[in-house]
Structures are given as structure tokens and as C-alpha cells.
Structure 1
Amino acid sequence: MKRSLLTLGLLASVCLVGPHGAFAGQAPGAASDPDIPVSHRDRVYSAEQFSNTVSVTDPVDNKLVGVIRLGDPQPANFMPLYTGQVLVHGMGFSPDHKTLAVVSIGSNSVTFIDTATNAVKHTTYVGRAPHEAFFTPDGKEVWVTVRGEDYVAVLDGQSFEEKSRIKVPAGPGMQIFSPDGKYGYVCSSFNPETVVITVADHQIVGHVKQDSPFCPNIAATPDGKQVWFTLKDTGRTEVFDAKPPFAVLKSMDTGPISNHVNIVRNAKGSFAYVTIGGLNEVKVFRTDDFSLAATIPVGKLPHGVWPSGDGSRVYVGLENADGMTAIDTLTNKVIATSPIGQAPQAIVYVPNAVPEGDGTQHLQQLGVAGQVAHLSLGPMKTVGSTGAATGEDKAPTSVSLFDQGLIQVLQVAVTGLEPKQPYLLALAQQPNGEGALEPISAFMTNPAGSAIVNASGAIRQVVHGEDQIRRRYLVIAAGHADKPGPIVQVQLK
């Protein structure tokens, strides 16, 4: 009898040991949480701002299950009586893994979705241009950073109604919580300051200096020791002590358009995965000495990043490739890329999201959301037989034309230019930029010499020469629309 009890105890302990060790715990949970092996019950969700969809992916075979359509594409969503969501962007989930919180920037909303059925349970409207939403570790509250204003909207975790506001520096970008639920960390997208707030009484108890104003993303390590955040404007990543006095531990250059960061714990240690949009890479850093452990090429404009429940994989949304990439964290190699909706932003991995059934209710096919054309821009080197410029850059400026039906949304992830300078995206008569320019959008580069440029129109037909339209070529010129300077980037083959 004693032997039987001992055997049962050993078996129970083995069941709690994941492939990378016992009680590894993955963000946003605590290190004491058991690992949850990858299964068909898990789901990876991506928030897609131009198709206004949430794509749902099965991580076992990295297959798209379907999309939750929260809104329509352009120009339908321009109507004054439109009721759908616009610019689906941010994402979080409840501690019990039963509820997804999806932020839509354009319609100022947080949509709460049942993970088991994909049904919308509630929509809460908050202030101007919310960015991210996440449940507190006890599930009692949902904090929403209202980036267009100067506060965090606090919603009730059950009714989803707003119950209070926490005033913070203008432009709060994202919030995440310490694993023990004591602190909330809120970085800013408009001011160079991150604040630390006590969850119990909503009081600011700490201030952390950001190297620059534009922080889009923040993550806490499961051991409760560190907080990492990215700075998209300067291409940097900072780390600070998760406990008082919240001292900065490290600040480092990570690369242009440093987007999101998340934490993985496995047999090799604890690591921060940072998506570098301007280099089309994910960089992996050790959390003990902050050394660079790996650089992983993934595809155009990596954005959101989230680990599986056992830390064996990391998932990355590719904003300018409409793809979801899976990375094996022990080898740091890409093992799969699957199609999703247009311009994925935040992503989350939710273990046991579908406890029973096939989880396909209320899902639709990609449809027009899966249609996109891709181009690249770079310094002109030679002109090939097709008349298009050719040349090999490590990470040329990527261009995506997201089909909206009659028109497209154009998104250009510009890299390799002079910092803090005015430029013009335009159409040229010739592949080398010669002839009169037709301006599309004027923009200013950030301190890292990068920019994200958007426009709408029937642009694909023009740059491809479709439907008997005279072909023109995308170029970037220095200067302003009323006085363009020399051509600095041209459309590549």
C-alpha cells in the first residue's frame, strides 16, 4: 500500500513537470504556475487592424481555424451610421482563459469574446484611442490604457462596465501586472515616463524614466523580478526592477521599429523575445545578463509576440505579411508560418481556450481579409530587364497593399533613412524615379530613421499597371510634398 501511494505521488509529480522543467510558468503568469503542454485545446489569437478581424489559430498544426469578424473593411466602415469595430488592435485575456479582451482603436471599444464559442459577450466603449486591455491577475478588473487621453480606464471584470479611472501621464501605451497582482506597470506612448501603480488602491507609487516617449509594449517576468518595455521611436528596449525603487537595470539598442516583447522560460533559462519590425527579425535576450542569445529572421514587420503555455514555442504576428510564425524556443528556429488577417498587431496565446468541442462556432473564412499584394523599396542599384530597380538589402522597406474590395490600404514600413527628417512617398513615371511625382503621403522619420506610412486608394492597380492603367512606381523622395528633393528609395523588382 505504501509503495502504491509512493508511485502515485511520483506519477503526479511527473504530470506537473513540463518538457522544460517543473513549474516553469509562462508570462503573464507566475513562475510557480505549472506549464501547460501545447494541445488542440489551445488557441493563438491575433488582432488585425485593416480587416477588423481576430484570427484564431490551432497551435498544434499551426492551422487557421477561422476569423471572428468585428467590423467591415473600407469604405463600408466610413459610413456615419456604422456600428462595427474599426482598427482592431490590442488584446488580453482573463486568468481563467475563458474571455478574450479585444481593443479597437478607431471605435474606442473593448470587445469581450468567449474563447470556447468565439461569441461576443459584451462591448464596452471607453475614451479616445484605447490601445491595450488586460485583466488583473485576480480577474476582478480590466485595465484599459486610453492612449488618446491621460488615464487608464478600470472596468469591472464581470460586468465589463467602467467603474473608475486612474490618471497617468498622457498617452498610456500598455499595462501589465506583476505576477503576484500587487503592481500594475503602465508605459507611455507620448511621454518618457512609465508609472507603477498599486492594484489594490490605484495609487502611483513609482516612476521609471523612458529613454524616449514612444513605448508600445511592456512585459513582466514570471519570477516577479523584472519588467521589460520597448521604445518604437528610437529602437531601444529597457529593463527595470519590478520592485521598489523600480531602478532601471538595462537600456539597449535593439533595432528600428522595436515592437513587442515577451518572456519565455525553458530548460535553457529565462529569455526576452523582442520583435524588430525594421529588420524583420526577432531578437532573443537572456534575462540574467541581458546578452543577445539569438537573432531569428521571421518575415515582414514582426509585431505581436506571445509564448505557448509551456514555453516550447513563441508565436509572432507578421504585420506586413499577414502571417503567424511559430518559433521553437530551444532551437530558436521558425517551424511554421500560417495565413491570418490583415496587419496583425497584438497577439496572445491562450492555453485551454476551448475545453470541449471543436471551437469553430461563430468563425468565418478569411475571404477578402486574406488578399494582399507585397512590394519592397530600397536604394536603386541597377535596373533589370523588367524596368524595375533591383538590389539586395538586409531589410528593405516593405510595402503591403491590403485588399478592401474596390480599394486597398497601403502600409509602408520604412527603414534605412536619415532620422528626424521629412520625406515623401510618391508615384513616379519611371522606375528610377524620373519624371513628375504624384504625392501619396508626407511623413517624418523617427530617431531610428524609420516610419510606418499609411494611405488608402486604388494603388495596386497603378503600381502593377492593371486594368489598362498606365503603370507608375512607388518611390520615396527627401523633402516635402510642395518641394520634393532627390529620390532616396525606389520600387524593387
Structure 2
Amino acid sequence: MKKTALCVVVFAYLVTRGASASAESRAYVTNEASNDLSVIDTASRRVVATIKVGDRPRGVAVSPDGSRVYIANANSNNLTVIDTATLTVKATVPAGIEPEGDPEGIAVTPDGKQLYVVNENPGTVSVIDTATHQLVATVTVGVEPETVAVSPDGRWVYVTNETSHDVHVIDTSADRVIAKIKVGANPRGVSFTPDGKRAYVGCERDGTVSVIDTAARRVIATIPVGERPVGTVVSHDGKKVYVAHGRSYEVWVLDTRTHQVLTKIPTQERSWWVALTPDGRELYVTVHGGGRVAVIDTTHDRLLTTIPAGTKPWGVAVR
């Protein structure tokens, strides 16, 4: 082989290796009964680390640069901060000013500067500076807030409230509630389309998904989806919504244009929360009662495998 051709081959090999390395991702799964975090390598689909965290970990979020994982520990009323380079606990941070806040949902802004943490018992959201780990604001929301999501542009935070059956919209520039949107009964998971124009809310007691027009701040459609929908996530191309079900042991796939059910994917046990891999090709689903995580191929919408995790896996984030 000529020297020039050899150089081209070597260069292509190195580029391929670099692209592969940059595409590597991990799934972070909170196990609320074993008080730990399962770290899954998505390439090999195996657990590469199990990290002890606080008491009854639930919500989990990864910083935009992938360097930190934030975990809300409901019974400890604090947050665990994990360094992803070393897979060790970097800090333990109070979740808010309440002694028994019961933090659950957690989300980080796209710029990585703030955390929004739902405190179920007092009905508040703690706003925490990620650089200092200091509480910078407390926002009162609805009754029994469950989860939180930040819009793709970072301007709005949506908080679902289980008992007041609504979504509170927080303006991140002022950290204040600027709207309340009535949705179905017992809203749980909420997710945005990539363009931020729609939000999808799984309403557990109703067995529906509420579709919100984010500009008008109102529900424009209600989609029947079977019993106990919980987590929702929109595909990267914005064409599909994946909805995890706690009763039917399935993930339902909805068409965002027609609001029709495209298919139902069995997960074998109670499905809870959902997260897509960075390339959008796989969906990770916590199978709460089964102590496993289901992996779904989003190209063909079929179950690929399940991965053993800790006891009662709850939240999941992939980066």
C-alpha cells in the first residue's frame, strides 16, 4: 500500500474511533428501594457502576456538558451530585429550606447554571445555583408537584401537580409562576417537542395525555392512552411521543401530527420513566417492579432487551 493511501486509512480509522468515543453514552438510573444509582454503558448495555446516594432517590438529571449527575433524594431531603469522570459523589446539597420537602422531579437548564427541584410536600420548587450549590429562589406551585421540565430554549419551566391537576409555568428570568394550565387528573410526566411549541403531559388517573400549546398556554388535545400513563418523551425529530404505562406494562407510541396510537411495546412489568439516548435511536425505560431497565429500539419501536438494575428503579437520564 502506498504511503498516501496508508495515511488516509489510518486517518479514517482514528476519526472513526473518535466519533465512536464521542458518541458513547451512559444511562443513570435511580433505585428508590436500594438507595443507589445504576450507571449503564449504553454501548454494551451493562451496569458499569453502582453508587450509593441518599435515602429513596427519585428524580435524576445530567448537566448539559455531561460532567455532573444530580439526584433528588426524597427521604433525605437533599441532592447528590456525582462526578461522571470518576463516578464518585462530589457533594451532598440541601434540596430546599423545608425540613421534609420530599424532593422528586429535578431538571437542569440548558446552560447548566440552575437546577429546578420539585418539593412535593410543601408544594414548592427550589432553584439552585449549580456553581455554588446555593438556594437562590423558592417558587410556590400547585398541590403535590411531581415532575419538572425545562423548555428547549431555557425560558420556561413546566411543573406537573398531581392533586391540583394542573401545570404551573415558571418564567426562568424571574423565577415566578406566570401561568397555570388545567390538564387531566393526576399529571405526572411532562416533555417538550424539540422546537418547544408543544408539551405532552401523562395524566395517570385519567388515562390520557394532555397536549399543550406552549405559546397559547392551553390544552389543545386530549389523547386516550390506557391505564396509568406516567413518563413521556418526544422523539428527536418531533414526530413521535413515547408514553410509559404503570398498569398495562407497555410503552405507547403516539403520532404527534395525528395524535393516533402507532403501536404499543410490551415491557413485561410496570413502566415508569423514560429517556432517549443522545442519538435518539434507543429509549430507556425504568421497569419499577421488575428491578430492570427496558431498552427500546425507536427505529422499529420494539423491545431490544432488559438490563438488571437496583431495587425499584424510578428515574432515568441518559447522556
Given the two structures, how large is their TM-score scaled by the length of structure 1?
A: 0.58
**Residues 219-264 of structure 1: per-residue CA shift (max 9 Å, x gap):** 1111111111112223221110122x21212112212221211111
**Residues 375-408 of structure 1: per-residue CA shift (max 9 Å, x gap):** xxxxxxxxxxxxxxxxxxxxxxxxxxxxxxxxxx
Residue 188 (structure 1) aligns with: 161
Give the partner amino acid of 1:274: V
CA offset at residue 141 of structure 1?
A: 1.0
Taking a change above 3 Å as real, the CA distance of residues 224 and 321 of structure 1, as seen in their structure-2 partners, is same
Give the partner amino acid of 1:240: I
Give the partner amino acid of 1:130: P
Distance 1:233 1:47 in 2: 24
Distance 2:37 2:22 in 1: 20
CA offset at residue 38 of structure 1?
A: 8.8
1:273 is the counterpart of 2:242? yes
Residue 36 (structure 2) aligns with: 53
Does the CA-based 8 Å contact 1:39-1:60 persist in structure 2? no
Any stretches of 5+ residues in structure 2 without a counterpart?
1-14
Residue 118 (structure 1) aligns with: 87
Give the partner amino acid of 1:191: S
Any stretches of 5+ residues in structure 1 without a counterpart?
1-14, 16-35, 71-84, 351-493
Give the partner amino acid of 2:218: A
Residue 191 (structure 2) aligns with: 219
CA offset at residue 40 of structure 1?
A: 7.2
Taking a change above 3 Å as real, the CA distance of residues 63 and 310 of structure 1, as seen in their structure-2 partners, is same
Distance 1:38 1:345 in 2: 28
1:247 is the counterpart of 2:218? yes
Matched residue SS, 1:200? coil
Match of 1:320 among 268, 284, 289: 289
Residue 183 (structure 2) aligns with: 210
Does the CA-based 8 Å contact 2:72-2:103 persist in structure 1? yes
Residue 228 (structure 1) aligns with: 200
Distance 2:47 2:317 in 1: 14
Does the CA-based 8 Å contact 2:275-2:318 persist in structure 1? yes
1:129 is the counterpart of 2:129? no
Distance 1:345 1:38 in 2: 28
Residue 4 (structure 2) aligns with: none
Match of 1:201 among 171, 174, 195: 174
Does the CA-based 8 Å contact 1:236-1:253 persist in structure 2? yes
CA offset at residue 150 of structure 1?
A: 2.0
Distance 2:91 2:162 in 1: 27
**Residues 323-352 of structure 1: per-residue CA shift (max 9 Å, x gap):** 1111111111111211110111110111xx
Matched residue SS, 1:216? strand
Matched residue SS, 2:37? strand
Distance 2:66 2:110 in 1: 11
Based on CA coordinates, which of the two structures has the bigger radius of gyration? 1
Matches within 5 A, 1:303-382: 303-350=272-319
Give the partner amino acid of 1:234: D
**Residues 257-309 of structure 1: per-residue CA shift (max 9 Å, x gap):** 2121111135xx62110001100100001112211111101111011111111
Matched residue SS, 1:265? coil
Give the partner amino acid of 1:237: V
Match of 1:104 among 59, 62, 73: 73
Give the CA RMSD over aligned residues: 1.7
Does the CA-based 8 Å contact 2:137-2:175 persist in structure 1? no
Does the CA-based 8 Å contact 1:170-1:190 persist in structure 2? yes
Does the CA-based 8 Å contact 1:281-1:298 persist in structure 2? yes
Q: Percent identity?
A: 26
Give the partner amino acid of 2:36: T
Does the CA-based 8 Å contact 1:193-1:208 persist in structure 2? yes
Residue 67 (structure 1) aligns with: 50
Matched residue SS, 1:166? strand
Does the CA-based 8 Å contact 1:103-1:132 persist in structure 2? yes
Distance 1:237 1:38 in 2: 37
Matched residue SS, 1:179? coil
